[in-house]
Amino acid sequence: MRHSIESNENQKYKIIAVDDEIGIIDSLSVFLKHSGYTLVGCTNPYEAIEKVKNEHFDLMLLDYMMSPIHGDTVVEEIRKFNQELYIILLTGHKDLVPPLETIKRLSIQGYCEKEDKFEQLLLLIESAFKSIDQMNIIKSINAELVESKEQLEKAYLESIQTLRYTVEAKDTYTRGHSDRVSAYSVLIGEAMGLSENELKTLRIGGLFHDIGKIGISDAILLKESKLTDDEYSEIKNHPSIGKHILSNATIFQDIIPIVYHHHERYDGRGYPKQLKGEEIPLLARIVAVSDAFDAMTSKRSYRNELDLDFVKNEFDRCSGTQFDPEIASIFLNILNQNYQKILEIKERYQ
């Protein structure tokens, strides 16, 4: 009965698969039909571009090494008229994946090595549709909003809470974490003399910074042992997924830079864009400090919370490399002079 319900639910999604090998298309068709998905197959990439232009598809599974044009060229053409289509790139071998910069530039949401059982691909497809569902909720909210500022604010906050609770339901660590990151960020912003509007954006952005984790497989997100390189690469995709989810609603534009850039590093070695110094949006630099502090001072399945003196030394050591030195200095001053407020936040959001 459960499989039947899931199959019916999956039928609402429309997938297009593009591969110049008919055998791959046939295998995908059989595999996805068994999971209840509707698949349209194309062996001609030019025909696929026209189909996407004239029909609605929720997801594209796209072979990279094709003839007469490669997958990245297909995406480039599609992005000229469709920015929303969720695209997963398929490769014969992970060494054949295009450069990361190309994947980011073309807004390719994921990639997967071809394999006989397609198990990893199914996980990516399930994660994709979770993201698409949330994006559709936001689009629906945006379409229904009236111009009244009061109603706009109310819908804004309620939609944020709804999506945030969805993430928290799958990752218990995120529950208190997002609240604390939000509160710590506002504390820093106040010490920096930011405006009320900036503080509001910080508060909401902090609550919402990990929303992209809704598109990460539960098996990876909840894994207690060390992640593999491939699993860590998927985790690192959550800022891009978060940006993609929020991109359709004008009401979320102010917090997107926080969601997208809170894992950048001051020395340019962060992700997803390797921004450096003041290229990183100010509010994202603030949330990066708060996020790191809460990660170090929270109990995890694999360790207890770290000693406060150790944490202070880490902020001092990483000032100017991982963290904006001015923001790190301000936060260290809060830890040294006003630690009671930190304790109040920790107690409030246990």
Residues involved in catalysis:
213
Q: How far apart are CA 182 and CA 210, in angstroms?
A: 11
Write the DSSP assignment of 168-191 as a string of letters.
Answer: HHH-HHHHHHHHHHHHHHHHHHHH
Calculate ∠ Cα 223-226-231, nearest 5°: 70
Question: Residue 211's closest CA among 248, 257, 178?
Answer: 178
Bin 268: left if φ > 0, else alpha if -120 < ψ < 50, else beta: left
Question: Residue 348's closest CA among 178, 113, 222?
Answer: 178
- Give Cα 193 distance to the centre of its chain: 30
Q: How far apart are CA 85 and CA 343, in angstroms?
A: 44
Structure tokens at 221: 């997100």
Contact 246, 259 (CB under 8 A): yes
Contact 86, 132 (CB under 8 A): yes
Q: How far apart are CA 108 and CA 230, in angstroms?
A: 16
CA dihedral 118, 119, 124, 125 (to 10 degrees): 70
Write the DSSP assignment of 225-242 as a string of letters.
Answer: SPPPHHHHHHHTTHHHHH
SS3 state of residue 113: strand
